[in-house]
Amino acid sequence: MTVPFALPFLASEPRATALLDDGFRRPAAWREEVRIRQGKRCAPALLEALSAQHLALPSSPARERNLAALSDPGTTAVVTGQQVGLFLGPLYTFYKAASAIAWARAIETETAARCVPVFWLQTEDHDFAEIASCEVPPALRLSLPPSDARCSVAHLTLAHEVSGLVEELTRALSPLPHAAQVLDLVRASYQPGRGLAQAFASLLAAVFAEEGLLFLDPRCPGIARLSSPLYVKAIEDADEIDAALSKRGAELSAAGLTEQVHVRKGSPLVFFHGDRVDGPRRRLQREGAGFLLDGGGVISRSALLDAARNEPLRFSSSALLRPIVQDALLPSVAYVGGPAELGYLAQTAPLYPLFGVRPALAVPRARFRLLDARAASTLNALGLTPADVEAPREELLARLSNGRASGEDLAGRLLGPLTAQLAESGRKHPELARAARRTQVSIERAVSRYAARHAQLVANQDRTLAERVDRLQATLFPRGEPQERVHSLPFYAARHGLAALKTAVLGALDPRAPPAVRDLTP
């Protein structure tokens, strides 16, 4: 039995830290990474592509300053990224961006070197179903129309149905005190005909306009050209990469840790899009002197390498290659990732020397549970912590109702001693036996009526308790998952106010503190 890599890594267990450096815990490691990265300059083609991409985002003087700083010698970056989910997807997207901002600030303070936060838009991915929905508490799920296209989501546009989803979101959030502000931002970003990735970037850029969060979309010609040597290397040295990944897989298994990504031997770390850059994203599998294409067809190794060198936008990175591309293109001091991404990084670590790239420090993103006043009050009344709510429902109910007797239990406890005493009295005094039996019958009727009333009261209390537990779990642990993995940002921004929410999250983010789930009441 193995466990996910992130759990022991966050707990500083040697079996995990031996496989992935936990230098994020040591400011001395921050300083060393900055010293090394300060000698790296962003390629002019990268800066040109970034400048063009940022023209489509909402105006932000802070973002303009950070973009200009990225072209200066000595500037470093903290990078994070996420798939471009509907209305920003789950809350952890917001926490990732906030974590990158907090880490860039902390590194800049620690080292006096300019450090900017960059959000890498994971637009190469093709899993549309994973990003097409948004969940609004208590139980509203908004979803884009299904799509069977296997192209990268960078090439998908919002259908007219998105207008209806915005209206549904408006109806759901309008009763909340700060709905107008967040709904204005959503409407400005999510419009029919707009690119799915552009809408996501526009909304997140508006949310973090004051903090100057930068964005990078890899699905553009300039950035693809810069990534080309890495694509070529992934194909040319596929056997060596396979061997390194196989060895790392064995090391993870020996340490009792799970491989986050299933490695397919003979499948390079790139996807091929065929003749069109917006064509289906297809996996490659080595076969003799060429490669089989997922879905049918064959391409020779020479033709594949020629395309990687001359038309790199026909390729995209796998989850294991993406961090290497990021660290090759950007002066990355740190990469902020969630539990799954820490698992990717543990697998990818031995590949960095093969590509001649230095890995950024692996940094866990912040994790939060947001509590409103009602949830906080209910927790206090029940004597629970927010973490307690993540226990199974029946276990939690049993714990809270411990000591409550059912009607039958109560009747038995009340009648037991009295029945025994009456029976004993009747045996000792036969002349009282008849009176003892009549007394017992009378008492049993009275106790039965009392026990029934008691049982009804307990049942009502249990129903109320169950409702309170269900409400708490729907708020803090919906569908048996952490809140941050299910609920979306717009609801909480509409309830608490975007500024208050950002202040609370950024204020609680301390890069020097041990990783932990933090409970917030904005």
User: Cβ neighbours of residue 333 under 8 Å, at least 6 residues apart?
Assistant: 30, 33, 34, 37, 76, 77, 78, 107, 115, 360, 361
Q: By mean pLDDT, which of 137-141, 254-258, 463-467 is the weakest? A: 463-467
Q: pLDDT tens, 76-106? A: 999 999 999 999 999 999 999 999 999 999 9
Whether pLDDT at 505 is above 50: yes
Q: What is the CATH number of domain 6-224+322-369+497-510?
A: 3.40.50
User: Cβ neighbours of residue 291 under 8 Å, at least 6 residues apart?
Assistant: 268, 272, 284, 285, 298, 299, 300, 301, 304
Cα torsion at 359, 324, 248, 28 (round to 10°)?
10
Q: pLDDT tens, 196-210? A: 999 999 999 999 999
- Supply the pLDDT for residue 460: 47
Q: Mean pLDDT score of the chain, rounded to an integer?
A: 92
Whether pLDDT at 408 is above 60: no
- Supply the pLDDT for residue 413: 66
445 three-class SS = helix
- Supply the pLDDT for residue 240: 97
Q: How far apart are CA 341 and CA 157, in angstroms?
A: 27
Give mean pLDDT, residues 293-303: 94
User: Cβ neighbours of residue 46 under 8 Å, at least 6 residues apart?
Assistant: 222, 223, 226, 329, 330
- Supply the pLDDT for residue 439: 74
Give mean pLDDT, residues 140-146: 95
Whether pLDDT at 450 is above 80: no
- Supply the pLDDT for residue 194: 97
- Supply the angle between the helices 433-476 and 393-400 in degrees, to the nearest 10: 130
Give mean pLDDT, residues 246-264: 96
- Supply the pLDDT for residue 127: 92
- Supply the pLDDT for residue 459: 47
Question: Which whole-number Å values give the CA distances from 332 to 36, 194, 317, 323, 354, in the listed order?
Answer: 10, 30, 18, 10, 18
Q: By mean pLDDT, which of 2-16, 340-354, 384-398 is the weakest? A: 384-398
Place of tokens 């029919």: 192
Whether pLDDT at 177 is above 80: yes
Torsion region of 288: left, alpha or beta (phi above 0 gives left; psi -120 to 50 gives alpha): left
- Helix H segments across 208-320? 221-236, 238-254, 301-310
Give mean pLDDT, residues 380-388: 94
- Supply the pLDDT for residue 410: 57
The backbone torsions φ and ψ at residue 421, rounded to the nearest 5 degrees and listed phi first, read -65, -40
Give mean pLDDT, residues 330-341: 97
Q: How far apart are CA 162 and CA 143, in angstroms?
A: 9
Give mean pLDDT, residues 264-275: 95
Tokens of 33: 């990474």
pLDDT band at 466 (very low <50, low <70, confident <90, very high): confident
Closest CA to 186 of 206, 203, 207, 208: 203
Tokens of 306: 């020629």
The per-residue b/e assignment along 302-332, b for 16 or more CB within 10 angstroms, e otherwise, is eebeebbeebbbbbbbbbbbbbbbbbbbbbb
pLDDT band at 446 (very low <50, low <70, confident <90, very high): confident
The domain limits of the chain are 6-224+322-369+497-510, 238-316, 373-480
Whether pLDDT at 406 is above 60: no
